[in-house]
Amino acid sequence: MRLFLYTRYDPFTPMDEIVRAFNYLIDTGKTFYWATSEWPVERIMEACEVADKLNLVKPIADQCEYSLIVRDNLDKAYHSVFEKFGYGTTIWSPLGSGVLTGKYLDGNVPEGSRMSLKGFEGLGNFYLTEENLKKVADMKPIAERLGCSLTQLSLGFCYVNPHVSTVILGATSVKQLEENLATLKIVEKLTPEVIQEIEAIWQNKPGPSRTEQMVFRVRA
């Protein structure tokens, strides 16, 4: 195994035990690296600092949700570990549970889609909102101008973010996978100007944290 992910932080286990446990797995050949998944930034920072103090291997990345709909962790909270430790990210749900593909724009829930599956109905309360659907529709002219699908435009937005190391795809068919991979053919079209157009539609880019604002004032 190349990478072992520790999903969700365990507040009941001392951090030095967590770090030592994953280094044991590395030392015994079970994995090459370890990483976190959906950890609070404070705990990621602690894990890296404890590993450095003990001269052990620290985690290298976090598997976090990221899309045009969900942005707080990657675009705001994790900046400190990006800067201090060069932390990477493996993002999941880059298409916002399918909402960013545009398949829900006609007001229907397609058979076999994520929102139609038993046990996933609650996703609609967060992702499948009138506001999100309007913003997806507003992106259609940009996608048409670039000669790509809404799926590719949304994936490309994630891909060009310098803090995104890996984009996890959730295709359920070969056709979907081929469309997703074809995003690589259009990313060069996603200029800063195009990204700004997308940002202007969503208007949800997280602002600097209070700490970052204080640092900026001191530097100024």
pLDDT digits (tens, 9 = 90+) for 28-38: 999 999 999 99
Of the pLDDT bands very low, low, confident and very high (cuts 50, 70, 90), residue 40 is very high
On average, the pLDDT of the chain sits at: 89
Stretch 59-66: mean pLDDT, rounded?
96
Distance CA 148, CA 116 (A): 26
Q: What is the pLDDT of residues 4-32, one digit of tens each?
A: 999 989 999 999 999 999 999 999 999 99
| pLDDT tens-place string over residues 136-152 | 999 999 999 999 999 99
DSSP conformation class of 39:
-
Instruction: Give pTM, 2 decimals.
Output: 0.86
Q: Give yes or no for residue 218 having a pLDDT over 60.
A: no
Task: Please give the pLDDT value at position 153.
Answer: 98
Q: What is the largest CA-CA distance in the chain?
A: 56
Average pLDDT score over residue span 87-97: 94
Q: Which CA distances in Å does 25 have to 4, 5, 6, 32, 72?
A: 9, 12, 12, 8, 31
E strand segments, 40-123? 61-65, 88-92
CA 73 to chain centre: 8
Using alpha carbons only, give the angle 2, 152, 69 rounded to the nearest 5 degrees. Answer: 80
The answer, yes or no, to whether residue 93 has pLDDT greater than 80, is yes
Predicted local distance difference test score (pLDDT) of residue 47: 97
